[in-house]
Amino acid sequence: MADDEIRFPTGFCMKDLVAYGHTGMVLLDSSTNTVIKTPHDEDRSESMTIEQQIYERFTEHGGHKGILMYHGPFESGIRLEYAPNGNLRSYLEDHAVDEKRKLLWAVQIAEALDFAHQCGVIHGDVTGANVFLDGRLDAKLADFAGSSLDGSPLLIGVTASHEYPGPLQSAEADIFALGSTLYELMTESRPYAGLSDKVIEERYKRGQFPVTKSLGLVGGIITKCWQAEYRECKQAVRDLQAAAPARRASAVPNTPTSINTPPARIRHHHRHTARLPRRRPLSVVGMGLGLGLVTAGVGVHAQRPMQFDSVAVNQTQTRSLLSGGGGGERPKRKDLLDAETLAARNGIDLVSTLKLKERASTSRILAALNQHTAFKLSFAIAFALSAFMSF
């Protein structure tokens, strides 16, 4: 087998893939409704070894309902509980979620992080992408590959919007990241979204953080996380529990929102609406230019041999989005990593938010992603032109 080819655990193949990263991949075992998380090769096995030790530590301490259940080792990887509703960040992009549900998740995330700290674990990368939602829509903290156990080095890079401007291997760093995750949860936008990593880091070092007054009690908790006013995570847990007194499961329906429900884009600071000046209808010229650009984009989009459907779909519906094996070209690891990098750069979740309309080799995935991005750009330009011409 060539070094560049993907090595699957026994009994698994490309159709079982639910996530793919630089160090490993996650595959669904549909017969047990669990997932197998496995490294690509021995060179990337260190983080998996740490993660296995961390889950074993959690099990020794009785486990926690806010952390994915550990089902033991599997070959060179581990077997974990499957969270069919994907990660928190993607779910918020695709579904309308009310404040009561968000407060419930906030408490669940903080309680899970506090448990991890009590077990001698520093997560190191607490973000909305590393919180998963199970079948009952309960939040589960996950992805401890690269975390610190009993003072071992962190093996993970931290997202700038969630990075503590101090020692990263500390409870304070995790609590700071918890604040950014709560901000992401409540506003559906990462702190200082749109700014470069360098600018964000400079602001954090100066003690400048996004305004949270419009978020009420939770906003104050977020600010305390950022300003290192909590010495222990349990302090944040107590404040969040007080902010969400009616957080029993019966108080929040467990029925997932329909996949067709538009994303919630209303922020808390929009509650008090102001009277806006009446705008003129879109001008004929503006509409013509806009429709022309959209039509051109659609024409290019339709002529390409490979297409992606940009509607959000649940992870449970996208386990077969990549082809490979059988009679087709066997996918190369580098192709998937390049595709993943390009997808992340353009805000696309390759596995859980794009549905491949036709089976194709991974060597054509990059072309499809480029085409998809170009179509989005043409539509954005058309919309901006139409709006501009309306004034």
- For a pLDDT cut of 70, what percent of the chain falls above it? 61
Domain end (from 30, 60, 81): 81
pLDDT at res. 264? 33
Residues 98 and 145 in one domain: yes
pLDDT at res. 227? 97
Give domain status of residue 1, yes or no.
Answer: no
User: Does 321 have pLDDT greater than 80?
Assistant: no
Residue 102 sits in a domain whose CATH number is: 1.10.510.10
Give domain status of residue 163, yes or no.
Answer: yes
Spell out where the chain has E strands. Answer: 17-20, 24-29, 34-39, 70-74, 77-81, 121-122, 131-133, 139-141, 148-149, 308-309, 355-356
Residues 200 and 108 in one domain: yes
129 against 266, higher pLDDT: 129
Residues 346 and 237 in one domain: no
CA distances for 1 relative to 5, 7, 274, angstroms: 7, 9, 65
Residue 68 sits in a domain whose CATH number is: 3.30.200
**Most confident region among 43-52, 132-141, 275-284, 300-309 by mean pLDDT:** 132-141
Residues 115 and 227 in one domain: yes
pLDDT at res. 186? 97
Mean pLDDT calculated for residue range 357-378: 50
**Beta strands 121-122; 131-133: pairing state:** unpaired
- What pLDDT digit, counting tens, does each position of 100-124 carry? 999 999 999 999 999 999 999 999 9
Mean pLDDT calculated for residue range 132-155: 95
Mean pLDDT calculated for residue range 138-146: 95
Q: How far apart are CA 378 and CA 361, in angstroms?
A: 27
Residues 225 and 121 in one domain: yes
114 against 254, higher pLDDT: 114
Q: How far apart are CA 342 and CA 331, in angstroms?
A: 17
Q: Which residues pair with 113 in a beta bridge?
A: none
User: Does 243 have pLDDT greater than 50?
Assistant: yes
Give domain status of residue 268, yes or no.
Answer: no
Give domain status of residue 74, yes or no.
Answer: yes
Per the CB < 8 A criterion, the answer to whether 139 and 111 are in contact is no
How many domains does the chain fold into? 3
Angle, helices 284-303 vs 365-389, to 10°: value is 170
Give domain status of residue 258, yes or no.
Answer: no
Residues 112 and 224 in one domain: yes
Residues 114 and 225 in one domain: yes
Give domain status of residue 229, yes or no.
Answer: yes
Domain end (from 30, 56, 81): 81
pLDDT at res. 351? 52
Spell out where 139-293 has E strands. Answer: 139-141, 148-149
Give domain status of residue 275, yes or no.
Answer: no
User: Does 241 have pLDDT greater than 80?
Assistant: yes
Per the CB < 8 A criterion, the answer to whether 78 and 55 are in contact is yes
User: Does 371 have pLDDT greater than 50?
Assistant: yes
pLDDT at res. 348? 52
Residues 62 and 102 in one domain: no
Computed over every residue of the chain, the mean pLDDT equals 75
Per the CB < 8 A criterion, the answer to whether 366 and 277 are in contact is no
- Taken in order 119, 121, 125, 130, the sign of the CA dihedral is negative
Mean pLDDT calculated for residue range 339-357: 49
Give domain status of residue 149, yes or no.
Answer: yes
pLDDT at res. 141? 98
Residues 19 and 56 in one domain: yes
Domain end (from 54, 81, 108): 81
pLDDT-derived band at 180, boundaries 50, 70, 90: very high
Q: Residue 178's domain spans which residues? A: 88-251
pLDDT at res. 69? 96
- What pLDDT digit, counting tens, does each position of 3-41 carry? 567 788 898 888 999 888 777 899 999 999 999 999 887
Amino acid identity at 86: G
- For a pLDDT cut of 90, what percent of the chain falls above it? 51
User: Does 275 have pLDDT greater than 60?
Assistant: no
Residues 92 and 206 in one domain: yes
Backbone angles phi, psi at 19, to 5 degrees: -160, 150
Residues 352 and 206 in one domain: no
Residues 48 and 153 in one domain: no
pLDDT-derived band at 220, boundaries 50, 70, 90: very high
User: Does 280 have pLDDT greater than 70?
Assistant: no
This prediction's pTM: 0.66
